[in-house]
A = this chain, B = another copy of it.
Amino acid sequence: MPEQNMVQALNTALHEMFADDPRVLLMGEDVGKNGGVFRVSGGLYDKFGAERVMDTPLAESGIIGTAIGLAVGGMRPIVEIQFMGFLYPGLDQLFSHASRLRTRSLGQVTVPLTLRMPYGGGIRAPEQHADSAEAYLTHTPGLKVLVPSTPYDAKGLLYAAIEDPDPVIFLEPIRCYRLGRMEVPEGRYTVPIGKARVARPGTDLSLIAWGAMVNLAEKVADKFQEAGISIEVLDLRTLAPLDKEAIGNSVAKTGRCVILHEAPRTGGLAGEITALIMETAFWDLKAPVARVTGFDVPYPAYAWEDFYMPNVSRVSRVVTETLKD
C-alpha cells in the first residue's frame, strides 16, 4: 500500500471516481489546469478534459446552484469552493435549496452533491482564508458534514460522500493536507458517515475533536500520558449527523470531557456536543464539560494567528482543571 498525505489520498480518490463513474464531475474556481490552489484536483483536467473538470466563473452561488441542477438532472457533481470563507456568498443555495429540495418535493427531487472545501487555520494564510464555519452547516437540516483528519479517512469519507444520495459537505483541514503520510489502500473503500473514531483510547478524560484539532488532542494526550493520565481522543469525523452514541459512551466511561474546536467559541459545535452529553452521560459526569476553542473574534490576520489558535498549553490548562474536580 502506498504512503500518502491527505492531498495525495484525495487526489487518488478523485482519479479513481472519475474513471469509475462517467457521471462524476468536478467544478469550481481554478480546479482545471491549475489543479486547485492546493492541487487536490491535480492531473484530472489533463486526463478527463474540460467537460468533466470545469473551471467556472468566479461566483460561488452560481457554482453551487448550477451543481444542484446537475445533481438533480442525473450527474454526480463535486464542487470545490476555494476556501471556506468564500462559501458565504453561496450559503443561500445550501440553506434554501440543496438542503430542502428532497423535503419540499416529498422525496421526488434529490440532490446527490458533494461540496469540498479547504477550511481552518494554522498555515499563515491571508486574512479570511482560515475560517472554520462548520457550525453554520451543522445547524442546517438536510445537509451532512464530514471532516477527515487523516489521509485514510479522507479517501474513505470522500467515497462515502460521493455515493451518498444527499448533499454532503466535505471539509478538508488545510493544516492536515500535508501533515503526514500513512498507508492508504488503492481503490474504493468507504468510511461510514455518522461514525466517530476513537483515535486513542483512554479512561480518565475524553478529548473530543475534529480536523486539525485531532492532532493537537493527540499531542495533549501524549503529554498527559507521561504523567500517567489516560486521555481518550475521539475524532468525530462526521459533524452532521453527530455520533451521539460514541460521544455518550466515551464520556460515560471517563466522566470528564473537554471539547476542542478552531471556530469561535460562542455557538460553535462544542455547545451542541455538550447538550448531547447532557442527554447521554449527565449522571456520569465528574466535572463540568469544558471547551477550548477559538476566541469570539473573527479569525484574525496571521500576525495574531498563534494567539487565536488552541494550542497544547491552552488545552492542557483546561484538561488539568477538568481533572481537578
Contacts and interface: CB of A to CB of B under 8 A. Distances in A.
Contact of A135 (B104, B139, B295, B301): B139
Given A92-B89, A296-B141, A289 B275 contact: yes
Contacts of A278: 274, 288-290
Contacts of A138: 266-267
Given A92-B88, A274-B278, A291-B275, A103 B267 contact: no
A136 B99 CA distance: 15
Contacts of A316: none
Contact of A141 (B104, B139, B272, B297): B297
This protein's copies in its complex: 2
B96 A141 contact: no
A107 to B, nearest CB: 13
Interface residues of A, number: 53
Contacts of A266: 138-139, 141, 240-242, 272
A127 interface: yes
A298 B139 contact: no
A285 B289 CA distance: 13
Most central of A85, A128, A272 by chain B CB within 10 Å: A272
**What are the nearest 3 A-B pairs in CB distance?**
A139-B267, A271-B271, A88-B92
8 contacts: A88-B91, A103-B300, A136-B136, A140-B264, A142-B297, A240-B266, A267-B272, A282-B288
